[in-house]
Amino acid sequence: NIIKLLLLLLFLLYIYDNYFIISAEIKGANSSCLFYQTASGPLPVKTRVNQQLLYCRVGIGYHLQILPGGSVGGVHKPTEFCWLKVFAMKHGVVGIRGVKSGLYLCMNRDGQAYGEQFSDDCLLKENLEENHYTTYSSLSHPGLYLALSTKGELRKGNSVGRTQACTHFLPRKTPLDADAQSENEPAKPEESKPPAAPCPSMPITKVQTFMSGKTL
């Protein structure tokens, strides 16, 4: 009986030691994982990256574009510079990047929107309004909204509000139509077709009609 008790005691000690070793390894792994997440900086809440158009319903309707020089504005017919990638940084905060220009949509403290390399001024608050349109405002400079005028020109963010139509945007994922070219791009001239070769004239032959064996 004593031997059995000793064996049972040794077995329990063995389980006890292994339990603490495994627990320590799990805690160490969790700590390493936590350190990796905090050391690598803020990560997006969702891996959402959408390629889309942003349509503003003001005036005749304009699509937002970011040009290679950093200019931001709107055009009625979408161009290659209108395609944008919207990605989430954290809940309710996004970044917008021009697919063709490679520049990010930013807004300075004066409410002027422009395209540049990514910075804190490129963080935008995305808010879905009651009319199902979306507004974008600066995270670094609260109260400044992205807006277009009735002519498609950029408006300063400090002169507009979230209830105005000029700040309302609608995401579109439809591809560019064949006729949706830049308004500044000259139309391609139609190719002139070579004149058709003249048909050789057929010899005129006398048609004779035979009726009752008589020639008319």
Q: Where are the domains of the chain?
A: 1-41, 49-172
Q: What's this model's pTM, rounded to 2 decimal places?
A: 0.59
**What integer is the mean pLDDT of 130-147?**
95
Q: Is 23 helix (H, G, I), strand (E, B) or coil?
A: helix
Contact, 170 vs 57, CB < 8 A? yes
| Residue 77 CB neighbour total at 10 angstroms | 14
Closest CA to 108 of 134, 70, 135, 161: 70
Segment 163-210, tens digit of pLDDT = 999 999 999 986 543 344 334 444 444 444 454 444 444 444 444 444
Position 146: which residue type? L
Contact, 107 vs 157, CB < 8 A? yes
| Protein fold of 49-172 | Trefoil (Acidic Fibroblast Growth Factor, subunit A) (2.80.10)
Residue 63: DSSP 8-state: E
E strand or H helix that includes residue 133? none
Distance CA 13, CA 26 (A): 20
- Please state, in angstroms and as integers, the Cα–Cα distance from residue 94 to each residue in 76, 82, 122, following that order: 24, 17, 8
Cα distance from N-terminal residue to C-terminal residue, the chain: 144
**What integer is the mean pLDDT of 145-163?**
95
Q: Which residue in this structure is represented by tokens 């931001």?
A: 72
Segment 106-134, tens digit of pLDDT = 999 999 999 999 999 999 999 999 999 99
- Please state, in angstroms and as integers, the Cα–Cα distance from residue 176 to each residue in 16, 49, 173, following that order: 67, 19, 9
Segment 66-116, tens digit of pLDDT = 999 999 999 999 999 999 999 999 999 999 999 999 999 999 999 999 999
Q: Is the pLDDT higher at 1 or at 59?
A: 59
Position 50: which residue type? N
For residue 133, what are its two tokens? 């349109």
